[in-house]
Amino acid sequence: MTEYVQTEDGVRIAYDREGAGQPLVLIGGAGQFRAVDPDTRGLTSELAARGFDVVHPDRPGRGDSAGDPPFRLAGEVAAIRALLDVAGGRAWLYGSSSGGAIALAAAARLPGVERLLLWEVPLGEEAGADGAEFLAAIRQRVAAGDREGTLRLFMDGMPPEWFEAMRAGPQWPLFERMAPTVEADAEALAWTQSAPRARLWSSITAPTVVLLGTAPFPFFVDAADSIVAALPSAERAEVPGSGHRWRPADLADRLAGYLPAAAQ
């Protein structure tokens, strides 16, 4: 059953909650929300069966969550703050793809983040300018009302058939509606290049695991190495999967491996 919480700015965030045990908040990537993401719904149930209290939200402006443009990184962090309160004030964060950059921003700004679990985060080169340029281009398309162009640009660099399948599929109206929200994803990615990462993330003390599939795109590997180099308590780990996807049971098994033995 869908539940709701309000951010400090009064934005209503929808979420599912399942299981008992270690609180874990899931942060979706650019195209993820509950109505179109059966893999993460499956992951929620798999994690709940392995000792987690899982909070699976729709990010601001997506699915059943409220929110109006412009969508900013600060609004994503405010939503995570509210979800941490739902979870009792302390939780692990799992960030998928660009949601991993949002998770890093939340961990840098909020108390109560006990562990970070990041799946194939598409960071650019440290201190590079491409993130800021990408954000400017996304904002231009959002301001022009070009929702299809916004999503097409965001997915540039991925196999083109991914976008074409989304565009031709029955859920396209749902994706089109949430297109302006990827501005927050682009802002999060640009933020990771805004200063040397060791300094930018100096307030992050949570143990961090950067997860990669068995056949990741090379830029995900470079990004993982950069995150591990910048954080004092970070490691890489592998999950069976390829093409930026995993099977829910495989990922749940890997995440459950970080629980204390008594909780498993």
- Residue ranges and CATH numbers for the domains of the chain are 3-126+196-263 (3.40.50.1820)
- Three-class SS state of 25: strand
Global pTM value: 0.97
- Angle, helix 182-191 to helix 147-154, in steps of 10 degrees: 40
Q: 119 exposed, middle or buried (CB, 10 Å; 0-12, 13-18, 19+)? A: buried
Sequential pLDDT tens for the chain (264 residues):
899 999 999 999 999 999 999 999 999 999 999 999 999 999 999 999 999 999 999 999 999 999 999 999 999 999 999 999 999 999 999 999 999 999 999 999 999 999 999 999 999 999 999 999 999 999 999 999 999 999 999 999 889 999 999 999 999 999 999 999 999 999 999 999 999 999 999 999 999 999 999 999 999 999 999 999 999 999 999 999 888 999 999 999 999 999 986 565
Burial of 240 per CB tally in 10 Å (0-12, 13-18, 19+): middle
Q: 70 preceded by cis ω (within 30°)? A: yes
User: Which of the 8 DSSP states describes residue 112?
Assistant: T
**pLDDT value of residue 260:** 86
Report how far residue 120's alpha carbon sits from residue 98's, in angstroms, rounded to the nearest whole number.
8
First-to-last C-alpha distance (Å) of the chain: 26
Place of tokens 């964060």: 93
